[in-house]
């Protein structure tokens, strides 16, 4: 188990977990490689000075001559980005993502033109009975936001 002062996280299925005690700068990277790696409009990353894998090992993809990216080979969760300058972990993969809030945006040349307007989009607040019923019936198979000795729980599978 990680130290009590450690920040922990991992993939969606629980096959790969990490721990880190020393974080650097959180960032939003707009480069096209991060967009593709995260399947989103940007890559949220935080520098991790002393991270280590505590359960399983990620798979790696050499995304360029200068960088490789880690992801879970079981569920596909993006986990890390590594260059000769060090390792950065995916902020959303932390058990407590708020501890690594981004403080800077980088690689603005590839930023999607609609990005700055996303928070101005209308918010859907009404829910239909059909949607409420659908949501009530969901049972998540996602790993919880804390370390576990075993996953999945032995009584569930």
Q: pLDDT tens, 109-143? A: 999 999 999 999 999 888 888 888 898 888 888 89
What is the average pLDDT across 31-52?
A: 97
Residues 66-121: pLDDT tens digits? 999 999 999 999 999 999 999 999 999 999 999 999 999 999 999 999 999 999 99
Instruction: Please answer whether residues 95 and 145 qualify as being in contact, where contact means their C-beta atoms are separated by less than 8 angstroms.
Output: yes
How much is the pLDDT for 2? 56
Residues 20-29: pLDDT tens digits? 999 999 999 9
Instruction: Please answer whether residues 53 and 67 qualify as being in contact, where contact means their C-beta atoms are separated by less than 8 angstroms.
Output: no
Contacts of 105 by beta carbon, 8 Å cutoff, 6+ apart: 27, 28, 29, 30, 42, 111
Q: Judge whether residue 156 has pLDDT over 60.
A: no
Query: Can you give the residue ranges of every domain in the chain?
Result: 1-9+22-113
**1-9+22-113 CATH:** 2.170.150.70
How much is the pLDDT for 3? 62
């Amino acid at each position: 188990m990680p130290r009590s002062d450690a920040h922990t996280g991992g993939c969606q299925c629980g096959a790969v977990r990490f721990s880190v005690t020393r974080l650097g700068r959180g960032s939003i990277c707009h480069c096209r490689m991060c967009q593709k790696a995260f399947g989103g409009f940007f890559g949220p990353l935080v520098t991790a000075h002393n991270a280590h894998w505590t359960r399983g090992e990620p798979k790696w993809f050499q995304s360029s001559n200068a960088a490789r990216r880690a992801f879970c080979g079981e569920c596909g969760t993006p986990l890390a980005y590594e260059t000769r300058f060090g390792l950065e972990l995916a902020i959303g993969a932390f058990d407590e993502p708020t501890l690594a809030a981004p403080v800077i945006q980088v690689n603005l040349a590839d930023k999607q033109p609609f990005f700055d307007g996303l928070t101005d989009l209308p918010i859907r607040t009404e829910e239909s009975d059909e949607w409420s019923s659908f949501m009530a019936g969901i049972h998540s198979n996602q790993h919880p936001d804390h370390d576990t000795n075993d996953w999945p729980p032995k009584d569930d599978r």
